[in-house]
Amino acid sequence: MSVGSVDADADALGIVLAASAAAALTVMLVTFVIGTVRSLHRVVDVAWGIAFAAVALVAWFLAAGHGDDPRRTLVALATVVWGLRLATHIARRGRGHGEDPRYARMLSRARGNPALYALGKVYLLQGGLVWLVSLPVQIAVLLPEPLGALGWLGLAVWAAGLTFEGVGDHQLARFKADPAHRGLIMDRGLWNWTRHPNYFGDFLVWWGLYLTACATWQTALFALVSPLVMSALLIWGSGKRLLEAHMADRPGYAAYRERTSGFFPRPPRGAPQPSTGRARSS
């Protein structure tokens, strides 16, 4: 195999990589049609998790007979569970809402056909990122060795991340559903330890899945781009940075930002105080 001392041939890896790219592209093209017909490009956020699940299923199927079956199934299942949970959560959160302001602003600056602009800048870009970020999954399903200590540690980190983001999303949804909290900043539970429990959870998920691909130093090096890219997206790209720019002028948010960690959880600097800011939107 071309990424190290793995007893699977380079052809198997090439097939998995190509088929995974095709799976991600197919999900995004179908979603593009739906988003264009509905004039609602926020549906791509739902497709993000679905595309990862599709890549994992395709890779799992094609790796049969090459990778260790328990490792292959556990890694694929972990990816599918994370992707479908995320897609379901985003779909529920966005139900009944109009276009995401991020996409509305982007399309308002489009030169030429807005739909074609969205195709390249939103759908195809995200499809490419899905393929790149999912490299550890595509590699891990082909590894012939049973999961070792590092692989099991990776699944434990994945589970911690999934739990963290799931609990954070649930806490926020319950907070926003209570009319008494209208106009308040969510600063309780996990949101008192980090301003972004959902993003930190994703961070753990992908570093955990990366560890399942670290059977050799070659596979570890080859797959390293995945968690690095995901971390950059979450912290400096379309995650934390954009959300905080959107929230910056809301009453109460500056005080919340001052006492609460921006990403990695830590005890807050003082107890939460009553706030006149609006509830968080993510």
- The domains of the chain are located at 1-146, 147-282
* Most confident region among 15-29, 32-46, 104-118 by mean pLDDT: 15-29
Q: How far is CA 196 from CA 146, 163, 210, 235, in A?
A: 34, 14, 21, 10
Q: What percent of the chain has pLDDT over 70?
A: 92
- Banded model confidence at residue 278, pLDDT cuts 50, 70, 90: very low
Average the pLDDT over each of 1-10, 77-86, 115-124, 157-166 and give the range with the smallest value: 1-10
Q: How much is the average pLDDT of 214-218?
A: 91
**How many angstroms separate the CA atoms of 73 and 61, rounded?**
9
User: In 208-239, which positions are buried (b, 16+ CB within 10 angstroms) versus exposed (e)?
Assistant: bbbbbbbbbebbbebbeebbebbbebbbeeeb
**How many angstroms separate the CA atoms of 223 and 218, rounded?**
9
Helix (H) or strand (E) holding 245: helix 240-247
C-beta atoms surrounding 8 within 10 Å:
20
Global pTM value: 0.89
pLDDT of residue 32: 96
**How many angstroms separate the CA atoms of 125 and 206, rounded?**
19
Mean pLDDT computed over every residue of the chain:
88
pLDDT of residue 271: 60
User: In Å, how far from its chain's centre is CA 132?
Assistant: 12
pLDDT of residue 16: 96
